[in-house]
């Protein structure tokens, strides 16, 4: 679980910081926004503490071992019950998407069922690719390399995404939650689920889970709907994480919300902001007679 979650989280954070920088336009690019430093400092986390591309293979290796057990009619060894559903793989792989309305995709069951199908199908495909290598007489290293890029790697990420969604859902339905918070968390759950599934759409068609355009159309519409429903909650959701100003260290992200006042103060108080730069003389046009 950890070997796939670390790559998922760090790759997502890397892309999110970049998305935030672009969302803030030129202001995001300012040194004082802190986003550039955040991006640079964070970047190494996809490499250290276990390089993502190496670490993630540990998860697919484990998943493939569970798949072999299922194929041999044995039970899976899944202490946290994350892949118990593999014992129903034969039935799961027969499922087809039959939804016709937005409500058919903007819910927990759709997301859960789609992920279970996707993980089973990717396991089947990764195993199939490894068998092809074996038949061709390729060595184990080559076989594993060739099964990685389009299969095992995606498999591990899908497994990590599913775990994140399953654990988050448990929180959503916990009795101790205030109902107003619950409704926002459920929307976040659906948005994250659909956003992740959208990246795997090709596979649902490749594997025959969907045939006409409705799955792709509904997932994309569902994302738009969740975004508009969450828009009024966006500031509260961001504030719920509430890193102190000292930690955020960003002139455009201060908790007082006075973006332009803070920017102006920062410019004005920057050392030398009101003085000529030392090179001013070099760019002043010289009179022709002195050339
Ligand atoms: C800022 C920073 C701080 C660090 N701090 C520490 C520290 O405190 N202690 C410490 O011990 N180490 C530290 N490291 C080292 C870090 O652990 C290694 O950089 C990391 O393990 C990757 O190894 P590498 O640099 O040799 O890259 P390589 O292993 O050469 O990787 C290069 C590329 O090849 C890919 N690759 C490599 N092997 C495979 C494979 N089998 N399959 C598919 N793709 C593969 C990688 O994904 C990567 O894209 C630090 C690194 C950085 C950047």
Asked if 166 contacts 112 with a C-beta cutoff of 8 angstroms, the reply is yes
Longest C-alpha distance within the chain, in Å? 95
Q: What is the pLDDT of residues 235-273, one digit of tens each?
A: 899 889 888 999 999 999 999 989 999 999 999 998 888
Helix (H, G, I), strand (E, B) or coil at 269: helix
The residues annotated as belonging to the active site are 49
Q: How far apart are CA 215 and CA 162, in angstroms?
A: 19
Number of the ligand 1 atom closest to the C-alpha atom of 52: 47
Confidence of residue 39 (pLDDT cuts 50, 70, 90): very high
Cα(52) to ligand 1 centroid in Å equals 9
Which of 269, 245, 268 has the alpha carbon at shortest distance from 255? 245
Q: What is the pLDDT of residues 18-36, one digit of tens each?
A: 999 999 999 999 999 999 9
Distance of CA 24 to the CA centre of its chain: 20
Confidence of residue 285 (pLDDT cuts 50, 70, 90): confident
- Residue 73 DSSP one-character state: T
Cα(286) to ligand 1 centroid in Å equals 54
Query: Looking at ligand 1, which residue's alpha carbon is closest to its atom 1?
Result: 44
Q: What is the pLDDT of residues 58-81, one digit of tens each?
A: 999 999 999 999 999 998 989 999
Cα(6) to ligand 1 centroid in Å equals 14
Asked if 156 contacts 50 with a C-beta cutoff of 8 angstroms, the reply is no
Cα(51) to ligand 1 centroid in Å equals 5
Query: Looking at ligand 1, which residue's alpha carbon is closest to its atom 3?
Result: 48
Query: Looking at ligand 1, which residue's alpha carbon is closest to its atom 12?
Result: 48
Query: Looking at ligand 1, which residue's alpha carbon is closest to its atom 5?
Result: 48
Over residues 123-140, the mean pLDDT reads 96
Helix (H, G, I), strand (E, B) or coil at 272: coil
Domains of the chain: 2-283 (1.20.140.10)
Confidence of residue 291 (pLDDT cuts 50, 70, 90): low
pLDDT in the model for residue 270: 87
Cα(83) to ligand 1 centroid in Å equals 29
Residue among 11, 51, 149 whose CB has most ligand 1 atoms within 8 A, to mutate? 51
* Ligand 1 pocket, residues with Cβ under 6 angstroms: 44, 47-48, 51, 53-54
Asked if 167 contacts 189 with a C-beta cutoff of 8 angstroms, the reply is no
Query: Looking at ligand 1, which residue's alpha carbon is closest to its atom 16?
Result: 48
Over residues 77-88, the mean pLDDT reads 95
Taking all residues of the chain, what is their mean pLDDT, rounded to a whole number?
95
Over residues 74-98, the mean pLDDT reads 95
Q: What is the pLDDT of residues 178-227, one digit of tens each?
A: 989 999 999 999 999 999 999 999 999 999 999 999 999 999 999 999 99
Confidence of residue 290 (pLDDT cuts 50, 70, 90): low
Residues whose CB is less than 8 angstroms from the CB of residue 200 and which lie 6 or more positions away in sequence, other chains included: 118, 154, 158
């Amino acid at each position: 679980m950890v070997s796939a979650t670390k790559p998922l989280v760090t790759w997502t954070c890397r892309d999110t910081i970049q998305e935030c920088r672009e969302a803030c336009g030129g202001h995001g690019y300012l040194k004082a926004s802190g986003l550039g430093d955040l991006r640079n400092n964070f970047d190494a986390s996809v490499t250290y503490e276990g390089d993502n591309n190496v670490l993630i293979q540990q998860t697919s290796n484990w998943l493939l071992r569970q798949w072999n057990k299922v194929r041999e009619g044995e039970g899976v060894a899944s202490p946290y019950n994350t892949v118990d559903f593999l014992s129903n793989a034969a039935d799961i792989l027969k499922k087809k998407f039959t939804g016709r309305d937005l409500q058919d995709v903007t819910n927990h069951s759709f997301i859960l069922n789609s992920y279970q199908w996707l993980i089973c199908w990717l396991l089947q495909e990764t195993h199939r690719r490894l068998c092809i290598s074996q038949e061709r007489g390729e060595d184990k290293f080559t076989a594993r390399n060739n099964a990685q890029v389009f299969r095992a790697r995606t498999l591990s990420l899908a497994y990590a995404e599913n775990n994140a969604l399953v654990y988050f859902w448990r929180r959503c339905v916990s009795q101790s939650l205030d109902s107003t918070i619950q409704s926002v968390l459920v929307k976040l759950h659906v948005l994250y689920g659909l956003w992740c599934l959208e990246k795997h759409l090709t596979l649902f068609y490749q594997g025959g889970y969907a045939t006409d355009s409705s799955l792709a159309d509904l997932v994309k519409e569902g994302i738009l709907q969740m975004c508009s429903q969450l828009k009024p909650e966006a500031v509260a959701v961001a504030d719920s994480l509430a890193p102190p100003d000292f930690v955020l260290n960003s002139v455009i992200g201060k908790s007082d919300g006075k973006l332009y006042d803070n920017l102006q103060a920062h410019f004005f108080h920057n050392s030398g902001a009101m003085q000529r730069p030392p090179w001013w003389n070099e760019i002043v046009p010289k009179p022709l007679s002195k050339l």
